[in-house]
Amino acid sequence: MFGKRLSISTQFVLLLMCVLALNAGAFFLLLKNVYMQELRAQAQTVVANVDAFGSWVAQTGRVWVRDGQDSFLGQMDVHPVDTPNQTITFYSKNPALAQREFSETVAASESPAKFRMTSQNVMNPANTPDAFESRALNNIQSFDLPEFFETVGGEYRYAKPVFHTEACIVCHGNAANAPRDVLTRYGSDNGFGFEAGDLAGIISVTIPQRNLLAGTVSLFGMVEIAAIALSILVILWFVRRTIIQPVGELTQMADTISKGQETELDVSSIPLNSRNEIDQLKLATSRMKTSFNLSIRKVKEARAAAQQAIKVAKSLKAQQAEQNKKG
């Protein structure tokens, strides 16, 4: 019923706007999916780099550095060969401590991607999981997930499980067998009792998300908008020129023919095998016009013959009446 009140041009414009809106929505969803896949790939790269760094530290069990008196497990004084009277103190860091300090360095940098390591049984209270990390740990452990990710407060959060290896059990196995410096720093209550293959925790990555809608809009400059507007105008011009105007002309012509009035319809330039629907409609209208004119002519001829017959009948009747009077 609504379509009966609007012209084809208006209906086509409204339909075109709906199609453009649907395409814009589909494009936005596609772009969002690509963006989320890109965020996931970035987070996986961060995890791979952190894991590789931890594996490098674990190759020797500890790394020793000269500057580390604020955060270390053990320490050792060394006298250089060339300067035996000089004492240099080295401080040891295990993989977990080295990775945590690495995460703190990254957090203080300009890198948008941040990470940390946490578990349900942490030695260091500073590594206590937040709300997302607790959900990630529970889901990964309950459903044996290879990864877990969410969007939280405009940030992309990603978690990858880390499993204990034989090298890890040296510090995280039986507390009674743990290195003395580990027990001195962290105590014996948390972070122990694991076996090789157990879930050690997660590498948690945080990446800020851009406003995708604003980013999508920013992709379109004046040139792109002008190109879209021009394409719409070209479509409208084509539809109006090839469909709406010819249909309007044929409608007016059909109305004229229906009133019995003469009208011209030139179809001489249209090939009979044309596959254009408007051309076929013009040919059909031309045939209808010819048939209608023929019918009108036959009706006129029949009317003229009938009128002539009536005149003859009246004349014969008048003659018969005159003869009756004389008889």
Phi, psi of 160 (to 5 degrees): -125, 130
Which residue has tokens 């009208």? 263
Of the candidate ranges 148-152, 158-162, 281-285, the one whose mean pLDDT is the lowest: 281-285
pLDDT of residue 131: 95
Give the highest mean pLDDT range of 100-104, 211-215, 317-321.
100-104
Q: Which two tokens stand for residue 64?
A: 């020793």
pLDDT of residue 113: 95
pLDDT of residue 4: 65
pLDDT of residue 144: 93
Per residue in 82-92, pLDDT (tens digit) is: 888 888 898 88
- CB-hemisphere CA count at 13 Å for 125? 2
Q: Is the pLDDT of residue 272 over 60?
A: yes
Q: Is the pLDDT of residue 145 over 70?
A: yes
- CB-hemisphere CA count at 13 Å for 261? 7
At residue 81 the predicted structure's pLDDT band, cuts being 50, 70 and 90, is: confident
**Are the C-beta atoms of 3 and 15 separated by less than 8 Å?**
no
pLDDT of residue 3: 53
Per residue in 52-77, pLDDT (tens digit) is: 998 888 887 788 888 767 778 888 88
Per residue in 187-221, pLDDT (tens digit) is: 777 777 778 888 889 999 999 998 877 767 776 77
Eight-state DSSP code of residue 209: P
Listing DSSP states for 250-292 in one string gives HHHHHHHHHTT-------TTS-TT---HHHHHHHHHHHHHHHH
pLDDT of residue 173: 76
Nearest to 157 by CA among 47, 83, 239, 58: 47
At residue 157 the predicted structure's pLDDT band, cuts being 50, 70 and 90, is: very high
Q: Which residues contact 62 (CB under 8 A, 6 or more apart)?
A: 73, 74, 92, 93, 94
- Burial (CB < 10 A; 0-12, 13-18, 19+), residue 183, is middle
- % pLDDT > 90, the chain: 24
- % pLDDT > 70, the chain: 96
Q: Is the pLDDT of residue 225 over 70?
A: yes
pTM, two decimals, is 0.68
**Are the C-beta atoms of 72 and 91 separated by less than 8 Å?**
yes
Average pLDDT along the chain: 84
